[in-house]
Amino acid sequence: MSFSTIDFTLADGRDLVYLLVAIGFILALKGLSSPRGARRGNLIGAGAALVAIAMTFTDPAMRDHVAGVSHGLNLALMLIAMVLGTVIAVPAARKVKMTAMPQMVAIFNGVGGGAAALVSITEFLKFPHGSVAVYKIFEVIFGVVVGCVSFSGSAIAFAKLQELMTGRPVTYPGQQAINAFVGAAIAALVVATLVTASVPILVVVLVLGLVLGVIFVLPIGGADVPVLISLLNSFTGLAVAASGFTLGSNLLIVAGTLVGASGILLTRMMSKAMGRSLPNILFSAFGSVITAASVTGGDERPVKSGTPDDIGVLLAYARKVAIVPGYGLAVAQAQHVARELADTLAARGVEVYYAIHPVAGRMPGHMNVLLAEANVPYDQLKEMEQANPEMPTTDVALVVGANDTVNPAAKTTPGSPIYGMPIVNVDQAGAVIFLKRSMRPGFAGIDNELLYDPKTTMLFGDAKDSLQKLVSAVESA
């Protein structure tokens, strides 16, 4: 090493830029975890990624002579793939409805896992035969298996959220045995691949990885899928880190590991917000007790349903009204009308606040985002912890398309799948109004006793229509 001459090569420059990119990603994550820095954090991340991609065109792999490689063809394919990816992703991401965000994230996560698995397996094809260290093979297998689990798991998560398949947990006889068998088969084949470095065996491992992703996600109930996506996101991070090991890329290792580690922490925070532990979400086949719970619920019990005018009067002459939004509000895009109703009530001197359950809707923070879009005054938004002490002094709780997040079974029925989840205590309010499309149970698939409570009034229909009718009713009351 000589200190007198400057040995700064293009390779050093590229590595230095990659280091700055890695720092950019750390800053991006830091920004994303605080409300003020979130948007800037995301832009820093995007900018850093762009720099890294541009810099990669200077990689020796782009031009170093290798027998049988036509760099022109490869570069052309690369650009086509990148343009194609951008042309598909941008409109998809821009046009997706707010309600469909989580499944969009699931897709983008799944393809990332798939890409990481493909990197690992393609590098494996390039390995010189017979001279590969066992740990290099292990890195490849890790990338392939974890990437495949993330890919197929995300696909099933997407199908569940998009309602292409049932959101209920899918269970079948011998499920545990089958899972154990697939796990054991993968373990055995991993060892076989390590010993033989055989491509066909690795392909079988790949296929089993895809199977594992599917059977891992099937028994997880729809309401828990956002937490699952966060976990799969973390998996993809680890798969990317593994492909970073294979390629000897510091950047991929840092970026993948950052996501892997922070993703697991985030997953735990999310499950904590739902009042459940992560193993409970993953392995309890959430809702396998559903049938028992809903049988006791019975279908033919009377419910009280009211006209918009009745309910309008109730609201107009209340002192304090809590609006409790849920997924129904999001589906109906009713946030603006909800605000209109709140404003109309406030103009009559009614104290109105929104009680936000942290996991109402299909993703944590869903309601805050929707209500922010409708410019709801910030001081009217109350998180569940602030809202619950107010409930006993609240005259009317207006539940707009929420169900599981206000279901008292979470407090009273130890056998219930949502038992232990914190809820908004609307049952403590003077009267409860449910705006619902039907008596169908919520996402968790369990009956809500509160619907049959004498102090509950139902108003059936689309949340937006119902709210609109209530606005007119309050105005004429």
- Binding to another protein (CB under 8 A): which residues in 55-114? 56-57, 59, 61-62, 64, 66-69, 71, 73-75, 77-78, 80-82, 84-86, 88-90, 92-94, 96, 98, 101-102, 104-105, 107-109, 111-112, 114
Q: Is 111 exposed, middle or buried (0-12, 13-18, 19+ CB in 10 A)?
A: middle
We find the least distance from the C-beta atom of residue 244 to another protein, in angstroms, to be 7
Residue number, 250 or 468, with CB nearest to another protein? 250
Least distance to another protein, CB of residue 68, Å: 4
CA distance 72 to 400: 58
How many Å apart are CA 65 and CA 326, to the nearest integer? 59
Q: How far is the CB of 35 from another protein (least distance, A)?
A: 6
What stretches of 377-430 adopt beta strand conformation (E)? Answer: 381-383, 396-400
39 forms part of the interface with another protein (CB under 8 A): yes
Half-sphere exposure of 294 (CA within 13 A, CB side): 14
CA distance 135 to 252: 18
Q: CB-wise, 1 or 73, nearer to another protein? A: 73
If one asks whether residue 137 binds another protein (CB under 8 A), the answer comes out as no
Tokens of 37: 């820095």
Please state the closest distance from residue 161 (CB atom) to another protein, in A: 13
315: Cβ–Cβ under 8 A, 6 or more apart, which residues?
321, 341, 345, 350, 396, 398, 433, 470, 473, 474, 477
Residues 150 to 209 in contact with another protein, rule: CB under 8 A: none
In the numeric block, which tokens belong to residue 45?
Answer: 């991340």
Q: Which of 4, 126, 177, 299 binds another protein (CB under 8 A)?
A: 126
Handedness of CA 440, 444, 446, 449 (dihedral sign): negative
Under the criterion CB under 8 A, does residue 30 sit at the interface with another protein?
yes
Out of 164, 188, 319, 476, the residue judged to bind another protein by CB under 8 A:
319
Residue 135 binding another protein, by CB under 8 A:
yes
Q: Residue 259 Cβ, how far from another protein at the closest point, in Å?
A: 4
Residue 143, token pair as written in the block: 């990338």
- What are φ and ψ of residue 473, in 5° steps? -65, -40
With beta carbons less than 8 A apart as the criterion, state whether 446 and 416 touch.
Answer: yes
Among 58, 122, 166, 176, binds another protein (CB under 8 A): 122
From the candidates 64, 299, 379, 404, give the one annotated as an active-site residue: 404
Minimum CB distance to another protein smaller for 310 or for 343 = 343
How many other C-beta atoms lie within 10 A of the C-beta of residue 69? 12
28, 157, 189, 341: which one binds another protein (CB under 8 A): 28
Q: Is position 343 annotated as part of the catalytic site?
A: no
- Give min distance, CB of 409 to another protein, in A: 22
Q: Which residue's CB is nearer to another protein, number 15 or number 465?
A: 15
Among 148, 255, 409, 470, binds another protein (CB under 8 A): 255
Q: Write out the H or E segment, with its range, that includes residue 349.
A: none
Residue (of 411, 415, 464, 407) closest to 441 by Cα position: 407
43 counts as binding another protein under rule CB under 8 A: yes
Binding mask 267-286 for another protein (x = CB under 8 A): --xx--x-------------
Residue type, 309: D
Residues marked active site are found at: 404
